[in-house]
Structure 1
Amino acid sequence: MFRYPLHARHPEPLLALRAEIRRRREQGAERIGLIGFSAGGHLAGHAALAPTADLRESVQFAVLGYAITSMETETYRPSRIILLGEDASPDLRRETSLDKLVTAQSPPFFLWHTAEDIYVPPEHTYRLAAALAVHDVPHTVHVFAHGPHSLGLAQGAGDAMAWTMFAASWIAEQIDAPARGTTNSRR
């Protein structure tokens, strides 16, 4: 588990996560997958998608739960303000929107959300899934009918609690699958 800096401006959380990924590589990790929820899902997705020249920072797959994927929408504005500030430029908002960072070399994604999430609407998951599809990036999407924001493992949350079983199976496939090449180092 990695606890990223909260209430910190971009790029501090991304730099902290990349340092942790490099540390894990130096300890011998060959394949690294990230799991994140809500704002943490944005950070995990950003680390998987943002360009980097350092191969040690590459990510082989990502699992995002009810993640904030776009900084260009007005949905869940408080998180955008914490990360980018009140007067973030359109360029900065675009550079930190996951759907704008997807390329054909992006790693596979598992995305899940609930249709009832009023804080981060499922539009965020749909936007990222559409970008992944356009670039032929392998991905899985589950949007459950019921459940509020912040479900985490979703224990006792009806159908949404199945996400952990689906994700475990998907992660096993990613671990056994041949690598898609160097994920985000070619951009």
Structure 2
Amino acid sequence: MGENREWIKLWPEGAPLAQGSGDEDVPALQYFPVQGTGRGAVIVVPGGGYGMRADHEGEPIALKLNEFGIPTFVLRYRVAPYRYPCALTDVQRAIRYVRHYAEKWGIRADRIGVLGFSAGGHLTASAGTMYDAGNPEANDPIDRLSSRPDAIAPCYPVITLQPPHYHEGSRINLLGDNSDEDFAAQLSCHTRVTPDTPTTFLWHTADDGAVPVENSLLFAAACSMNKVPFELHVYESGQHGLGLAENDPHVASWMRLCGEWLIKHQF
């Protein structure tokens, strides 16, 4: 899908830690613009256990967000055999990149959001809890900008990388087979929430058999403890990886709710 849309390389000269020059080595954005200017933008992060990127969690989501008048980008981030911190570096660069070119695209630089699914939800939550203000001394003007998103929407996300509620495949692909438990704890996003964490929209299904609903509950509880504005929707049933959930009208309501939430926050 989206074959006719140009991929915008985040590092035209090559990404940090890149091991080649093929598509899987080249983090990039695909732009889904809307008519008019002055809106915020959302970066969509497909899931896939940090081993691939699911097509149904990319372009279809971007096009649906376009229906709300929101400019959207789909992120091609690096997955296994790439390990941490490559994917995080990619999403941070994407946020800075969109912020840098916001005026050119008619986008509000102070309204850059990230919405991601499953392992892409972990990357989304990581972006919202592991950002920096930019390097004012950097030669590249993009690197001088903040990587903090203005809103995040982790959808049936992987949040914890530790038992009993973690997704083993995502952890192995991100950290390797022999990852240290302390390090896994540090990259469990609910442990990194602070009062400065961006406003958050979460949704999950209560009987998700791949990524337990406790992942979203842990993040929501951390937001509550830190007085971070958040919205949480837990649907009674539905398999993991539903995307738009077009075959389940009840669960499909998440997109309308999320679109309304983004508009409420001036996207």
In structure 2, runs of 5+ residues without a counterpart are 1-73, 103-108, 135-144
Give the letter for the 2:210 counterpart.
Y
Give the letter for the 2:116 counterpart.
G
Residues 92 and 131 in structure 2, CA contact (< 8 A), matched pair in contact too: no
Partner of 2:79 in structure 1? Answer: 6
Residues 155 and 204 in structure 2, CA contact (< 8 A), matched pair in contact too: yes
The correspondence of residues 1-187 of structure 1 with structure 2, limited to 5 A, is 1-7=74-80, 8-28=82-102, 29-54=109-134, 55-74=145-164, 75-175=166-266
**Structure 2 Cα separation of the partners of residues 146 and 139 of structure 1:** 22
* Larger displacement relative to structure 2 (30-39 or 85-94): 85-94
Residues 161 and 188 in structure 2, CA contact (< 8 A), matched pair in contact too: yes
Give the letter for the 1:70 counterpart.
T
Which of 1 and 2 has higher RCO (CA within 8 Å, sep 6+)?
1
Give the TM-score of the pair, scaled to structure 2: 0.64
Secondary structure (helix, strand or coil) at the match of 1:57 reads coil
**Residues 54-88 of structure 1: per-residue CA shift (max 9 Å, x gap):** 25211100111100000122431111011011221
**Structure 2 Cα separation of the partners of residues 116 and 110 of structure 1:** 19
**Residues 79-132 of structure 1: per-residue CA shift (max 9 Å, x gap):** 101101122112211221110010011101000000121000101000000000
Give the letter for the 1:161 counterpart.
A
Aligned residues: 176
**Residues 30-68 of structure 1: per-residue CA shift (max 9 Å, x gap):** 311000000001001101111424252111001111000
Q: What is the CA RMSD across the aligned residues, in angstroms?
A: 1.3
Q: Which has the higher helix share?
A: 1
Give the TM-score of the pair, scaled to structure 1: 0.90
Identity percentage over the alignment?
A: 34
Residues 42 and 67 in structure 1, CA contact (< 8 A), matched pair in contact too: yes
Q: Which has the higher strand share?
A: 2
Q: Relative to structure 1, is the Cα distance of residues 64 and 14 closer, same or farther in structure 2, using a 3 angstrom cutoff?
A: same
Give the letter for the 2:112 counterpart.
I
In structure 1, runs of 5+ residues without a counterpart are 177-187
The 4+ residue runs of structure 1 with deviation greater than 3 A are none
* Larger displacement relative to structure 2 (99-108 or 89-98): 89-98
**Structure 1 Cα separation of the partners of residues 231 and 131 of structure 2:** 23
**Structure 2 Cα separation of the partners of residues 42 and 64 of structure 1:** 7
Residues 146 and 159 in structure 1, CA contact (< 8 A), matched pair in contact too: no
